[in-house]
Amino acid sequence: MTQFRFRSDEPVADPAVTVDSFGEQTNASAVRLEPGDEARDLLPHLDRLKLIEVNFPAYTDGRGYTSARVLREAGYTGELRAVGDVLVDQLAYMRRCGFDSFAPERELNVADAEAAMARYAEVYQPTVDGRSPVWAKRHGIGQHG
């Protein structure tokens, strides 16, 4: 159940398939990446993908952050949804890595989540979220990404 979504388009109704079966189902438009899956295997198919779910079986396994960022760096613009053990204090980092929807397996306190996502007005690194890092602000370099 998607609890937070930062997109204005219609949610994709298709069920996400595994990476293995995605390769066989040429009409699938939604796929689910597990931590051990190689996100770059999807790059040839980005044009037909509308939803990529990245599963976090345990929130301490950070491979999904790299998966997300790699997909955005390659130009993927569809929905990127974090699912599984998604908690309040990881949301801001996930958004920075390109996630734009969240389906935590246990519902989060909305006020806590919104406060956590809004807390940091500045960032030190450019990623794929378009936010200007402080070095860009210091040196008058324009909007990043």
Partner 1 sequence: MYQYDKFDQALVDARVADFRDQVRRRLDGSMTEEQFRPLRLMNGLYLQLHAYMLRVAVPYGTLSSAQMRMLGDIADKYDRGYGHFTTRQNIQYNWIKLEEAPDILADLASVEMHAIQTSGNCIRNTTSDQYAGAAADELVDPRPYAELIRQWSTFHPEFSYLPRKFKMAVIASDTDRAAMRLHDIGIQIVRNAAGELGCAFYVGGGMGRTPMIAPLIREFVPLDQFITYSEACLRVYNRHGRRDNKYKARIKILVHELGKEEYTRQVEEEFAHLLTQNIEPPLAELERIKAQFTDPAYDPSAPDALDRSDPDFALWVDNNCVTHKQPGYIAATISLKPVGGIPGDATSDQIRLMAGLAKEYSFDECRVTHAQNIVLPHVRKVDLYTLWQKLDAAGLGTANLDQIGDIIACPGLDYCSLANARSIPVAQKISERMAAKEQEIGELKLKISGCINACGHHHAGHIGILGVDRKGVENYQLLLGGCEGADTSLGTITGPGFDEDGIVGAVEKATDFYLANKQGSERFLDTYRRLGMAPFKEAIYAKENAE
| Per-residue tokens: 40 | 């770059």
Pick the binder of partner 1 from 4, 22, 65, 102 (CB under 8 A): 65
Q: Minimum distance from CB of 87 to partner 1 (Å)?
A: 6
Q: Minimum distance from CB of 83 to partner 1 (Å)?
A: 16
Among 3-11, 14-22, 24-32, 56-64, which window interacts with partner 1 (CB under 8 A)? 56-64
Instruction: Find the helix or strand (DSSP H, E) in which 32 lies.
Output: strand 30-33
For the stretch 114-132, what's the b/e string if a residue is b when 16 or more beta carbons lie within 10 angstroms of its beta carbon? eebbeeeeebeebbbbebb
Pick the binder of partner 1 from 5, 45, 50, 144 (CB under 8 A): 144
Q: Minimum distance from CB of 114 to partner 1 (Å)?
A: 12
Which of 83, 27, 80 is closest to 52 using CA atoms? 80
The conformational region for residue 17 under phi > 0 = left, psi -120 to 50 = alpha, else beta, is: beta
> Counting contacts by CB under 8 A, is residue 19 touching partner 1?
no
Q: Rounded CA gap, 72 and 82, in Å?
A: 14
Pick the binder of partner 1 from 9, 41, 75, 125 (CB under 8 A): 125
> Counting contacts by CB under 8 A, is residue 23 touching partner 1?
no
Distances (CA, A) of 49 to 5, 44, 78, 85, 145: 17, 10, 7, 24, 22
Q: Minimum distance from CB of 13 to partner 1 (Å)?
A: 30
Q: Which residues bind partner 1 (CB under 8 A)?
A: 35, 59-63, 65-66, 69, 73, 87-90, 92-94, 96-97, 109, 112, 115-116, 119-127, 133-135, 137-139, 141, 144
